[in-house]
């Protein structure tokens, strides 16, 4: 269980991050994930995530089951499905968007003698999005993440940065020529802390920026994610 001093630290970080964010759109994300290792060393996960946009209210609800398995030491493979429920701007109803993804996750430090407290992840995910009100998308995501399990404290630093590349390129039709729009879609970065709440659970408290390259806009994000690994 978290002591009162740890709760004060979490509150301090939340207030500090909220005061820092003063430009662009602001979103709050909250999620819960549960993982269980089943037969043949397959990990089965279920995640639910709620997204709220400051000033506009409910933005998105994500439901995501996933299975993954170690291929060799330092390399995992996985398949995920996501159902996203979003408000329909045209009326008071909601719309659903579906996504299927396949992923390869590398942990190169597991191949070395580097301290086991430091982890480094390189993830490649190919996903296909089916959407009701707009065209379908095929996106490649490349993510670099790092964390450190600090000694004698349940709190450790976390950092991740992720690049989104869209294979469905748009075309701009000019008077004399047709110009393809680059496939660079977004760049998302998070930094914060991971708090070990028990032997099998942790809480991530992160601040992030999601920069939409294709739209020339950016969103600031406060993300609170709880993870539980069932024995």
What gap in Å lies between CA 131 and CA 170, rounded to an integer? 17
Structural contact between residues 170 and 179, judged by C-beta atoms closer than 8 angstroms: no
What gap in Å lies between CA 89 and CA 66, rounded to an integer? 30
pLDDT at 21: 47
pLDDT digits (tens, 9 = 90+) for 58-88: 999 999 999 999 999 999 999 999 999 998 8
Low-confidence stretches of the chain (pLDDT beneath 50): 1-2, 20-22
pLDDT at 72: 95
pLDDT at 112: 86
Take residue 77 and report the two structure tokens written for it.
Answer: 């493979």
Specify the pTM.
0.83
Q: Which long-range contacts (CB under 8 A, 24 or more apart) does 77-85 make?
A: 77/102, 77/103, 77/104, 77/105, 78/43, 78/102, 78/103, 78/105, 79/103, 84/60, 85/60, 85/61
CATH 2.60.40 at 4-230, yes or no? no
Structural contact between residues 22 and 207, judged by C-beta atoms closer than 8 angstroms: no
Take residue 89 and report the two structure tokens written for it.
Answer: 């701007």
What gap in Å lies between CA 88 and CA 21, rounded to an integer? 27
pLDDT at 1: 47
> What ranges do the domains of the chain cover?
4-230
Q: How many helices (H) and strands (E) does the chain have?
A: 1, 13
Torsion, Cα 174 176 180 186, to 10 degrees, reads: -40
Take residue 184 and report the two structure tokens written for it.
Answer: 């660079």
pLDDT digits (tens, 9 = 90+) for 155-190: 999 999 999 999 987 766 777 777 667 788 899 999
What gap in Å lies between CA 219 and CA 207, rounded to an integer? 11
Structural contact between residues 66 and 99, judged by C-beta atoms closer than 8 angstroms: no
């Amino acid at each position: 269980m978290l002591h009162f001093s740890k709760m004060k630290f979490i509150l301090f970080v939340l207030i500090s991050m909220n005061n820092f964010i003063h430009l662009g759109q602001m979103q709050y994300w909250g999620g819960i994930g549960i993982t269980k290792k089943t037969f043949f060393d397959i990990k089965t996960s279920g995640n639910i995530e709620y997204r709220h946009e400051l000033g506009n209210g409910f933005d998105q609800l994500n439901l995501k089951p996933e299975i993954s398995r170690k291929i060799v030491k330092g390399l995992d493979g996985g398949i995920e499905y996501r159902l996203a429920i979003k408000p329909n701007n045209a009326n008071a109803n909601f719309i659903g968007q579906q996504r299927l993804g396949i992923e390869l996750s590398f942990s190169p430090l597991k191949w070395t003698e580097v301290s086991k407290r430091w982890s480094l992840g390189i993830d490649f995910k190919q996903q296909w999005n089916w959407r009701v009100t707009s065209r379908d998308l095929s996106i490649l995501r490349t993510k670099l993440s790092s964390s450190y399990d600090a000694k004698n404290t349940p709190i450790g630093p976390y950092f991740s940065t992720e690049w989104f590349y869209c294979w469905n390129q748009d075309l701009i039709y000019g008077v004399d020529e047709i110009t393809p729009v680059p496939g660079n879609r977004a760049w998302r970065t998070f930094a914060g802390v991971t708090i070990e709440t028990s032997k099998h659970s942790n809480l991530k408290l992160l601040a992030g920026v999601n920069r939409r390259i294709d739209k020339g806009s950016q969103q600031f994000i406060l993300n609170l994610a709880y993870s539980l690994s069932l024995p």
